[in-house]
Structure 1
């Protein structure tokens, strides 16, 4: 897992409460921003209605905007999801509140069915200890549970609704119109929803590679699942959430691994080998026999169904003291290790999974670990020369020649150094975790809504091919909660485990760190009254990641359509279109300087979409 070795920075920042408060005085939290949104005409004297971009985190106390509008507005491509927020602010308490969407009617009788317009409830989690100086102790919006039953709304308090639209493949381009119907005891309203569908389709599989940690056992624990059939059913619902957010887990086959046995070789099988190697292979079980059947089936199923684009490959025995009974450095050790690696590599080549595999065997090495790490990479290069070797570390001269895929923290990425390594054939991902804190974009609940979306624009800006986050369903840690599991709805902090943490000790990593999905509300305390077969509750940050990956895809498609247009473009057209491939400074000038307002992102995305549409029509 990607846990930063110098976690003391996090603790230091978190414990300096006075300094954090002072920083918040100097830089007001984004939660209190009020210069956005539009009041809707469909509101009543008793219930104000307004709407905002999905990129804002709406506080419960945010006043109704003065600027007015007539409808919610969403733009998206075919096979894309996009959301807007409809904010309900009653001036008296409401009971029995429900919300539902109508079908969206489009050009020439075309329709987006109501089932493609989800209405989710924005739930707040109370931040008690801010992640950094950008946070504040207050309720922050994050979980997006579905409506299970009518709810009550408090007077003079915002209740945002997350209106998530999906335009299926083949949806005719144009403007679609429908309504969101709101009802409560003594109240009813219909709010117009307008959607523009562009004339191009996003691919099922994301171009930007992703690698996110996930713990299936935690899901089974919280959902109260013991039956393997139930476990499989629910796990697929989590994989569907990964698919719908265009994110890939480290491993899509939890609990299913190839089985390995070892055997000797016959003299005929050793023909042409060095005499000593032939003797060792005939006298010792140094040749692996691998049963791939169950693993192959599950890999093919999950990649075909959920469109994943990478997987973490384990190679046992790296830098081990002995292997198949032979000590490190011996010929028997090397024969067995290399035979296993070769068998794995060639099987992946035959099944078409070689390019998706990466070996991530060591995490964030300290300087003192570098010799061991390089020894491991030398082993791997001999055994699996065609498989990607990844390391969560910044480029260091002592590590060059080891990994061919570098994955530094965003705060440690140096573009000039990366460009030199690219010339040598190396590639780059990058990651965030409990650090860096402000002024970098992060994964925290109490950070600006734009953070994770902007991260993908930065990813494009610097020619980075993938993103990594160490966990996605960190709902509890055994150190902070040794006796009973944490309820992530009630305690939004992600607490440290390892690094000398003692049972019962609470040392903060950051609010929401490693937690992009929540268990169903009924399973929040991991003690449901019965097995819960519902899927996960998404989060605003999970949605922003998806939007960022889709923005990245827009840029990929723009580059491709410009190239395909070839000589049909004038020099002036080509020059203008190529400027759209550059990330404007208004979105991200560098990893520390980026927009906290989603408007610049949305404007640039619209420009790109219109050009893609235009070029495809030529």
Structure 2
């Protein structure tokens, strides 16, 4: 393994050396020679069959790059027609394309405007490049994802530049590509889209189960295939489909039935499995799901949605998931049986199936904390106006689905009822409803964590109003009223949670994505809280490691780019850290193992948990080129799919995410059983590498390889127990 890693690094080094660069001269189409510091002095634009390039020359760019929250917005009427594109209350802008760039991360997102509707373009990391050269910002986007845009000879370009502590910069000009004023200098030295590290794509491969009837049955290991995918290379054959699980674990095997043409019908029927000493695992313990294809905004199709019944589709590959939840009293050992097949209404040869049950039991609550939020407000996006009963039915079903996949839904129903005696300035709290919900949330449902918003004082640059309403007074952090109220709130809440034994299962968030204008308020509130309860741990959602807050903020919820800066800084390396909205759920082109390896990454870098603002963000129905297919236009936040009310359908990504949680449990169980702090050396190569710039190098290339790693780890757990 060590020699392999050395060879890999050498290959990467050689790749960096041989990558050739292309110098691109972008025409300058607007210029302001009188521009002062922090003003735009020139703009350029170029469009050809391969790419679109925007260039913005900003005086003082080097100093700007040091400012927190340096953001660049590009708004363009690309077709020159004011009647198309974005409208708003004040009138018509004609903006067809909007690009939002986070300069600190070198990342962007783009959208197309149609009246007041916007469509995200779903750009991948290797679809764009954000580069700075001298005082020029270059934004390069591959032409393919912009194929719906018309670029006229004359376009408009509005640039919006913002950063903390300064007024926005908003130049707005017409750019005539037929009248260049020269060339933007320095020129763009274009190497490649995205990072110098190439984006790792799914590697198609098949492990074939030999048959004689003309069908091809092959283990897919949960990789995500497109609708028009060819038959992948056969890398091995196996006598049976094989899966392995601990007692109390849900585990799935994924396979495809490939025919010469799309099937009209397919049915997979699990039979009973016989194990050690003639023990029986009933076929009724298995659940069969048939994978349906979804499309993204770019018309790329992937298998993701899990249907309970087969639905004909246009692919000759028919993907199936067979899942079993092993009982906690199952005898360890190998169980053998078969899956019966009905193809186009006729019986076909069965598929041999093997299940190995390991001699240890999974915990009933995951070791790793998740806060994958379910929000009822998104339900109406798909279903429209529902009755209260139907809305409740759908939301309850989503909660049950999250629980099945071992996800904690972040928010808990019901809170303490607060009362304030203005005369004595005394706070009292009734915990009756909260305690009832806590018992359900933690004891019955075995969730791992919840976010307590009782301490949350504001968002961005604005304090919340509910505290002021409750106190019947203006809320001014640090004044006499606040200083009397807030420490009592902290103390009463902390002591009650301590008595319930849930302090380690609670996230106390004090602010959401704060601007620097409220840093003083945050620090004041934190000091008051810690004077009342020195042990209290306060968290903040934030997109950068703000040094002004490091003395008082204990829990940082951010992207891996920010978490890397925390982990690689001596001053903050031991801070509690959560990743927020960024564990690979939006990119279905990457290996299935990536979704699991994020949990290996968390183990390696002491990331305490993962939080998503929502995973059920049903969007309004979108009709693209294929009206028969569901369009998932917001995949990072749509993990489950609407069907009929009360029957949300899970996704393959949810299965892979649960596998990642189970991987984390395996690592924790090994440490418990062996008494060793680290996994043996042979497993170290399976851990991804977090680089100081926030990029991640995934070391395992396929889910088949990762399954093999986990199997070997399970055998070591058995030996340790």
Q: Do they fold alike, i.e. is TM over 0.5? A: yes
Q: Is the 8 A contact 2:601 2:687 kept in 1?
A: no
Indicate which of 656, 673, 683 corresponds to 1:561. Answer: 673
Q: Which has the higher helix share?
A: 1
How far is 1:333 from its partner?
2.7
CA distance in 2, matches of 1:364, 1:55: 35
Q: Decide which of 679, 685, 699 is 1:584's aligned counterpart.
A: 685
Q: Larger deviation: 9-18 or 198-207?
A: 9-18
Q: Which residue of 1 aligns with 2:271?
A: 102
Bigger drift between 373-382 and 340-349 goes to 373-382
Does residue 406 of structure 2 align to residue 406 of structure 1?
no
Contact 2:564–2:690 (CA under 8 A) maintained in structure 1: no
- The separation in 2 between residues aligned to 1:357 and 1:596, in whole angstroms, is 35
The corresponding residue for 1:50 is 218
For the residue of structure 2 that corresponds to 1:142, the secondary structure is strand
**Per the alignment, in what secondary structure is the counterpart of residue 504 of structure 2?**
helix
CA gap 1:39/1:102 in 2 versus in 1, 3 angstroms? same
Q: Superposed, which structure 2 residues align to 1:192-591 within 5 Å? A: 192-219=352-379, 222=382, 234-253=394-413, 256-263=414-421, 281=424, 286-315=425-454, 318=457, 322=468, 323-325=471-473, 328=476, 329-382=478-531, 385-393=534-542, 394-414=544-564, 417=567, 420=570, 426-433=575-582, 441=584, 443-476=586-619, 490-494=630-634, 512-520=635-643, 522=644, 532-534=645-647, 536-563=648-675, 578-579=680-681, 583-584=684-685, 588=689, 591=695
Cα 1:235/1:153, change in 2 over 3 Å: closer
Look up the match of 2:337.
178
Does the 8 A contact of 2:262 with 2:316 survive in 1? no
Partner residue, 1:593: 697
Q: Deviations over 1:297-349 (max 9, x none)?
A: 12211222221111111126735685443663332332122223322222222
Aligned partner of 1:73 in structure 2 is 242
Contact 1:453/1:545 (<8 A) preserved: yes
- Whole-angstrom distance in 2 between the partners of 1:4 and 1:143: 38
- Shift of residue 610, structure 1, vs aligned partner: 0.5
The question of 1:30 aligning with 2:201 is answered yes
1:418 is displaced (CA, Å) by 5.7
SS at match of 1:473: coil
Supply the distance in 2 between the matched residues of 1:5 and 1:101 (Cα, whole angstroms).
54
What residue in structure 2 maps to residue 526 of structure 1?
Answer: none
How far does the alpha carbon of each residue in 1:60-98 deviate from its partner, in whole angstroms, 9 at most, with x for none?
A: 423165443221111111111222212012224433322
For residue 10 of structure 1, the aligned residue among 94, 108, 111 is 108
Describe the SS at the equivalent of 2:592. coil
Contact 1:106 1:177 in 2 (8 A): yes
**1:371/1:20 Cα in 2 relative to 1: closer, same or farther (>3 Å)?**
farther
Q: Deviations over 1:511-566 (max 9, x none)?
A: x011111122x4xxxxxxxxx232x21112212211111111111111111118xx
SS at structure 1 position matched to 2:295: strand
* CA spacing shift, 1:327–1:547, aligned 2, 3 Å: closer
Which residue does the alignment assign to 1:610?
715
Q: Distance in 1 between matches of 2:349 and 2:527?
A: 67
Deviations 1:351-403 (A, max 9, x none): 22222111224233344553343334334434554443222334332111221
Q: CA deviation at 1:4?
A: 12
Residues 1:461 and 1:55: Cα distance change in structure 2 (over 3 Å): farther
Q: Is the 8 A contact 1:395 1:417 kept in 2?
A: no
- Asked whether the equivalents of residues 369 and 610 of structure 2 are also in contact (C-alpha less than 8 Å), the reply is yes
Residue 169 (structure 1) aligns with:
328
Aligned counterparts of 1:422 and 1:115: Cα–Cα separation in 2: 51
Contact 2:224 2:589 in 1 (8 A): no
Structure 1 runs of 4+ with >6 Å offset: 3-6, 19-22, 26-29
CA distance in 2, matches of 1:488, 1:298: 41
Q: Which has the higher contact order (CA 8 A, sep 6+)?
A: 1
1:611 Cα offset (Å): 0.8
Contact 2:274 2:281 in 1 (8 A): yes
**2:166 corresponding residue in structure 1:** none
**Aligned in 2, Cα 1:364/1:112: closer, same or farther, shift over 3 Å?**
farther
**Residue aligning to 1:501:** none
Describe the shift of the 1:98–1:346 C-alpha distance in structure 2 as closer, same or farther (beyond 3 A): same
Summarize deviations over 1:193-244 as a string: whole Å, max 9, x none.
1111110011011111112222023347756795666555544432232223
* Structure richer in strand, relative to its length: 2
Deviations 1:177-206 (A, max 9, x none): 222222132452311111111100110111
- In the TM superposition, what is the alpha-carbon distance from 1:168 to its structure 2 partner? 1.6
SS in 2 for 1:152: coil
Aligned partners of 1:418 and 1:428 also within 8 Å: no
Structure 2 length-normalised TM: 0.66
**Hey, what's the Cα distance between the residues in 1 that align with 2:715 and 2:675?**
16
Q: Measure, in 1, the Cα distance between the counterparts of 2:563 and 2:628.
A: 32
Change in 2 beyond 3 A, CA 1:122/1:341: same
Distance of 2:381 and 2:418 partners within structure 1? 29
Q: Residues 162-189 of structure 1, C-alpha deviation per residue, up to 9 Å, x if partnerless?
A: 1222212121111112222221324523
Task: Supply the distance in 2 between the matched residues of 1:355 and 1:221 (Cα, whole angstroms).
Answer: 35
Distance in structure 2 (CA, Å) of the matches to 1:211 and 1:361: 17
Tell me the secondary structure at the aligned position of residue 190 of structure 1.
strand
Query: Does 1:90 pair with 2:259?
Result: yes
Which residue of 44, 53, 63 corresponds with 2:231? 63
After superposition, the Cα gap between the structure-2 partners of 1:203 and 1:489, relative to the gap in structure 1 and judged at 3 Å, is farther
- Are residues 1:146 and 2:317 paired? no
Which of 374-383 and 218-227 deviates more? 218-227
- Greater Cα shift, 315-324 or 82-91: 315-324
> SS of the residue aligned with 1:537?
coil
Q: Distance in 2 between matches of 1:58 and 1:292?
A: 51
Inter-CA distance 168–588: structure 2 relative to 1 (3 Å threshold): farther
Contact 1:443 1:451 survives alignment (8 Å): no
Please, which moves more after superposition, 67-76 or 391-400? Answer: 391-400
Give the Cα–Cα distance (whole angstroms) in 1 for the partners of residues 610 and 412 of structure 2: 17
Q: TM-score, normalised by structure 1?
A: 0.76
Quickly say closer, same or farther: Cα 1:204–1:224, change in 2 above 3 A.
farther
Residue 151 and residue 357 in structure 1: after superposition, are their counterparts in 2 closer, same or farther (change >3 A)? closer
**1:104, 1:111 within 8 Å by CA — same for their partners in 2?**
yes
